[in-house]
Amino acid sequence: MKYNKIIGFALVGLMTFTSCDSDLAGVNENPNDPEMVPTYTIFNRATKRVMDNTRDGWMAARLTSPWVQYGAQINYIEEDRYLYRETTTQGGWNQLYFAANNFKKIIEIASEQNLSTSPNEIAAARVMLAYTFMTLADHWGDVPYWSYGSSDPEFQALNIQETTTPVYAPQSKIYADLLKELSEANDQFTLDQPVFGAGDGIYDGDASKWKKFANSLRLRIANRVKGVLPAAQAHITDAINDGVFESNADNAAQTYGTSSSEGNPFWATFFVDARTDFAVNDRFIRLLKGDNGQFGYDPRLQQMAAPAGTSVANVSSNGYTPSDDLDDYQGMPYGLPENRLSANNPIAGLSFASNQVISIDAPEILMEYSEVLFILSEVNGWDQGYYEQGVRASMEKWGVEASKVDAFVAGLPAANKENVISQKYVALYMQPQEAWAEYRRTGYPDGDILLLPGGTGLEIDGTTTYVFNPLPEINHMPYRVRYPEGEFSLNEANVNEASSRLSNGDTMESKLWWMP
374 and 343 in a common domain: no
CATH of the domain at 13: 1.25.40.390
Whether residue 466 is contained in a domain is answered as: no
* pLDDT of the residue at 12: 40
427 and 350 in a common domain: no
424 and 390 in a common domain: yes
92 and 157 in a common domain: yes
222 and 125 in a common domain: yes
From CA 51, how far away is CA 202, in angstroms rounded? 11
CATH of the domain at 429: 1.20.120.840
Q: What is the pLDDT of residues 279-327, one digit of tens each?
A: 999 999 999 999 999 999 999 999 999 999 999 999 999 999 999 999 9
What b/e readout covers 441-456, taking b as 16+ CB neighbours within 10 angstroms?
Answer: bbebbeeebbbbbeee
From CA 146, how far away is CA 155, in angstroms rounded? 5
Residue 179 · residue 133 · CB < 8 Å? no
* pLDDT of the residue at 191: 97
293 and 219 in a common domain: no
**Which residue range forms the structural domain that includes residue 338?**
260-362
> Structural domain tally of the chain?
3
**Count of CB atoms within 10 A of residue 213's CB?**
27
* pLDDT of the residue at 4: 36
Give the end of a domain, one of 294, 327, 362.
362
Give the end of a domain, one of 339, 362, 385.
362
Q: What is the pLDDT of residues 335-356, one digit of tens each?
A: 999 878 777 777 788 999 999 9
141 and 167 in a common domain: yes
Strand segments (E) across 295-433: 364-367
* pLDDT of the residue at 36: 64
The low-confidence residues of the chain, meaning pLDDT below 70, are 1-36
385 and 338 in a common domain: no
Whether residue 168 is contained in a domain is answered as: yes
270 and 357 in a common domain: yes
213 and 148 in a common domain: yes
330 and 217 in a common domain: no
* pLDDT of the residue at 25: 36
334 and 218 in a common domain: no
Whether residue 510 is contained in a domain is answered as: no
